[in-house]
Amino acid sequence: MDLTDIPDDAYDGDGSPPDRSAFESPDTLLTGGSIRERLLDTVTAIRTPTKVSTIADRADCDTETARDYLAWFAEMGMVRRYDGRPARYERNDAYFEWRRINQIREDYSEAELVDLLSDVIDEIDTYRDRFDADSPDEVSLVDASRTTSTEAAWEALTEWETLERRAALLDAARRGDSAGVDTPHSIDV
C-alpha cells in the first residue's frame, strides 16, 4: 500500500460526507470582524510606508473609510503618515513599545521586574561567556559554527538578541520610562 492510498476500512460508505455549506467560507474568516479591527490588524503588520489604497485592499474596505481610520490612528500615534501623492502610512513601532512597557508595568510589581531582569541578565551573561563577546552583533556566525552546528549557533545568537531586547523592555518598565527602548527589534516579554 502506498502512503497516499486510503485504507479500505477508512470509509465504509454508510455515512454521508459533511455538509460543507455549514462551514464558514474562507473569505468570511479572513474578512471577519469590524472594519476598524481589520484595519488595525493590517496596520500592525505594515513595516514600510504603504498607500491607503493598498491598506484598504488588505483590510477589505473602501479607500475613504481606510483614510478616515488611518487619520484617527495617526492622531493616536499608532501610525506615521507620510505626506505626498499618494499619502502613505506605516506602523509606529514607538507607540507599540510604549504600550508594551506600560502593559509590563501593570502586570508586574517593581520587585517582580527586578527579579525578572536579574534572571534575564544572568542568561545574557551566560551567552557573553560562551561567545566571549559583549553583544550578539560582535559574534561571527562563521566563527561560532566552528564549535557547533550553524543552526545551533544561529539559534543561540537569536536567543541572546531576544534576551537583550527583553532586558531593555524590563529595565524601561522598571525605570518608568515610557519613551521607549532604543534597540531595533520588537520582542514580547
Residues 99 and 165 in one domain: yes
Q: Is 15 contained in some domain?
A: no
Residues 86 and 69 in one domain: yes
How many whole angstroms separate alpha carbon 126 and alpha carbon 25? 50
How many whole angstroms separate alpha carbon 135 and alpha carbon 167? 13
> What pLDDT, on the 0 to 100 scale, is given for residue 20?
67
> What pLDDT, on the 0 to 100 scale, is given for residue 33?
78
> What pLDDT, on the 0 to 100 scale, is given for residue 24?
57
Cis check for the bond before 136: say yes or no (omega within 30 of 0). Answer: no
Residue type, 86: P
How many domains in the chain?
A: 2
pTM for the model stands at: 0.64
Query: End of a domain among 39, 72, 91?
Result: 91
Domain membership of residue 149 as a residue range:
94-175
Backbone angles phi, psi at 5, to 5 degrees: -75, 145
> What pLDDT, on the 0 to 100 scale, is given for residue 177?
74
Q: Are strands 79-82 and 50-51 parallel, antiparallel or unpaired?
A: unpaired
Q: Is 187 contained in some domain?
A: no
> What pLDDT, on the 0 to 100 scale, is given for residue 22?
64
Residues 100 and 87 in one domain: no
Q: pLDDT (tens digit, 0 to 9) for every residue of the chain, 189 residues total?
A: 455 566 666 656 666 666 666 665 555 545 567 899 999 999 999 999 999 999 999 999 999 999 999 999 999 999 999 999 999 999 999 999 999 999 999 999 999 999 999 999 999 999 999 999 999 999 999 999 998 999 999 999 999 999 999 999 999 999 987 655 444 444 444
35: number of Cβ within 10 Å? 17
> What pLDDT, on the 0 to 100 scale, is given for residue 41?
93
- DSSP assignment of the chain equals --TTSPPGGG--S-SPPP-GGGSPPHHHHHH-S-HHHHHHHHHHH--S-EEHHHHHHHHTS-HHHHHHHHHHHHHHTSEEEE-SSS-EEEE-HHHHHHHHHHHHHHHS-HHHHHHHHHHHHHHHHHHHHHHTSSSGGG--HHHHTTTS-HHHHHHHHHHHHHHHHHHHHHHHHHHT-TT---SS-----
Residues 98 and 171 in one domain: yes
Q: Is 120 contained in some domain?
A: yes
